[in-house]
């Protein structure tokens, strides 16, 4: 019950709690990186793309950021009309995938920014197959709005019993 309330009230706090329960203590840099990422996402959702881009570029420069931060920057760039730069980031993520692991969530995010809902759904389904925890936010994450109403999205939500 406490974990559910925590997720409803403050998702970032619940992330920290889960790390602590798993025995992993995040560094201050990691916590700051997550906070900056969440600010960038919020600004992008509000349509404040110039400010979101500025914040997300700062986040990407932080040492504790990962591929999802770069993917969110690509989302923001694509939504603000800078699709060419977003595609460059997508290509770097694809190159990184060829050499190791990149979460399908990162690819879904970039493709949503580029307006390619079908490719985003391909990656969301891959995230389901890989049991990515991110999917628990599928119905409430505003970045996923372009997928809503799509039969594949509805089937994925039903399959997950969300």
Give the pLDDT confidence of 35-88 residue by residue, as tens digits: 888 899 999 999 999 999 999 999 999 887 889 999 999 999 999 999 999 999
The pLDDT value recorded for residue 19 is: 65
How far is Cα 94 from Cα 48, in angstroms, rounded to an integer? 27
Distance CA(35)–CA(13), nearest Å, equals: 10
pLDDT at residue 100 is higher than 80 = yes
Residue 11 pLDDT exceeds 80: no
Higher pLDDT, 7 or 32: 32
Q: Tell me if 139 sits within 8 A of 157, measured CB to CB.
A: yes
Rg (CA), the chain: 15
Q: Which of 97, 24, 79, 30 is nearest to 59 (CA)?
A: 30
In this prediction the pTM is: 0.84
Q: How far is CA 75 from CA 6, 8, 18, 128, in A?
A: 27, 25, 27, 21
């Amino acid at each position: 019950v406490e974990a559910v309330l925590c997720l409803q009230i403050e998702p970032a706090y619940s992330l920290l709690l889960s790390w602590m329960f798993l025995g992993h203590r995040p560094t201050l840099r990691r916590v700051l990186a997550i906070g900056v990422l969440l600010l960038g996402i919020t600004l992008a959702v509000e349509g404040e793309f110039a400010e979101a881009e500025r914040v997300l570029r700062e986040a990407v420069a932080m040492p504790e950021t990962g591929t999802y931060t770069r993917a969110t920057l690509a989302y923001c760039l694509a939504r603000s009309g800078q699709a060419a730069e977003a595609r460059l980031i997508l290509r770097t993520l694809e190159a990184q995938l060829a050499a190791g692991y990149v979460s399908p969530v990162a690819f879904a995010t970039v493709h949503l920014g580029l307006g390619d809902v079908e490719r985003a759904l391909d990656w969301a389904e891959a995230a389901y197959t890989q049991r990515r925890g991110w999917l628990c936010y599928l119905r409430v994450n505003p970045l996923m709005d372009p997928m809503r109403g799509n039969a594949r999205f509805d089937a994925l939500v039903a399959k997950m019993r969300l």
